[in-house]
Amino acid sequence: MIVVPAIDIRHGNCVRLYQGREDRETVYWKDPVGMARTWQSRGAPMLHVADLDGAFQGKPANLHLLAKMKKELTIPIQIGGGFRDMGSIQAAVDIGADWIILGTAAVYDPDLVIQAVSEFGHKIAVSIDVSDDFVAVAGWKELSSVRFDDLARRMKNQGVQRLLFTDTRKDGTLQGPNLAGIRLFLEAAMGAQVMVSGGISSLDDIISLKEFEPQGLDGVVVGKALYDAKFTLEDALRIVH
């Protein structure tokens, strides 16, 4: 299991949102590329980049920052936020994104997921953003009628090799991860690579999540806890190694 720092980009800044709410934003860094360099220098094995502008407007808005990161960094980067057509996915692939994360498209345009997997294979990941038992979409502004475990099972059966679980109620709250939801998600996604995020607040949370490694948990994406210095990336990496 690996620990992956998150870089959430909005209006050119590195930010964190409370439960994904636009009106609950904290700006941590005004240079996302510089932040990416910092995380790499501190041992990050990869980065998770969330284009919040893209998620809210329905098309990627910060691919130019991804391009700068890929030029300056050597670690892999996954990016999500607004990828809802083949053109935007192709643009991210051309820049060098190691994984492109689809979210809303998995609910509203499953044919796009099938097409993207056929074209780009393992580079396609799907983020399943959970609110209680259902999937949140459109930058978490809408709640679908699709159960999160059903969607995980469907995406795996459609050939998606990499899945992300985010509890939207926990994200940015430092209230601890949704262990029961993660357990159910891992059962549904068995055979896929799985990363989880949302609510992680302490090294004890990392230790608790590591217990899911035999069930297929490959990584933990951490944002606010690292930015608020609840623990260091270095200490988290020592725990998982």
Of 8, 51, 53, 171, the catalytic one is: 8
CATH number reported for the structural domain that contains residue 135 in this entry: 3.20.20.70
The answer to whether the CB of 43 falls within 8 A of the CB of 75 is no
Of 50, 24, 25, 22, nearest to 35 (Cα)? 50
SS (H, E, C) 25-49: EEEEECCHHHHHHHHHHCCCCCEEE
In the beta sheet, which residues pair with residue 210?
none
Domain span at residue 34?
2-240
Domains in the chain, number: 1
Amino acid of residue 188? A
Of 51, 53, 129, 205, the catalytic one is: 129
129 is catalytic: yes
The answer to whether the CB of 14 falls within 8 A of the CB of 27 is yes
Q: How many helices and strands in the chain, by DSSP H and E? A: 11, 12
pLDDT per residue as tens, the chain (241 positions) = 999 999 999 999 988 776 556 666 788 889 999 999 999 999 999 999 999 999 889 899 999 999 999 999 999 999 999 999 999 999 999 999 999 999 988 999 999 999 999 999 999 999 998 988 899 887 667 888 999 999 999 999 999 999 999 888 877 778 899 999 999 999 999 999 999 998 899 999 999 999 999 999 999 999 999 999 999 999 999 999 8
Tell the residue number behind the tokens 């990584």, with chain if given.
219
The answer to whether the CB of 45 falls within 8 A of the CB of 220 is no
Of 31, 30, 33, 32, nearest to 72 (Cα)? 33
First to last CA, the chain: 8
The answer to whether the CB of 150 falls within 8 A of the CB of 176 is no
150 is catalytic: no
Question: CA-to-CA distance for 231 and 122, rounded, in angstroms?
Answer: 32
